[in-house]
Amino acid sequence: MKFVPMMWAVWGTITLIAAVLYLYRSSLTRDEEDQIYLDDAFQHEKVAQEAILARVSKVEPIVRLSKWFVAAATVFVVGYYVLDIVNQFK
């Protein structure tokens, strides 16, 4: 297989994985509240919010890492084409 289609396939796969992770994280935070419940009557709400926060905390490092992989792959693709343009003008 040629290099360019393989490069785009890897970039697309990394980008798709990052998009799926972003969608998963946003679906987790969909039910998150911005309020703090101080009364004991809202203990069930507090437990639910802590469970959401725990799941988001597990996913967050993976999302951050995927963002770096997408950035590195994008820089690689852009660098490849810049190098190709420079070589064509020699």
Residue range 8-42, pLDDT digits in tens: 999 999 999 999 999 998 888 877 666 666 666 77
pLDDT at res. 17: 96
Cα 74 to Cα 12: distance, rounded to the nearest angstrom: 10
Domain that residue 68 falls in: 3-88
Half-sphere exposure of 9 (CA within 13 A, CB side): 6
Task: Categorize the per-residue pLDDT at 63 as very low, low, confident or very high, splitting at 50, 70 and 90.
Answer: very high
Q: What's the number of domains the chain is made of?
A: 1
pTM of the model: 0.78
Which of the given ranges, 25-34, 70-79, 81-90, has the highest pLDDT on average?
A: 70-79
Average pLDDT, rounded, for the chain: 88
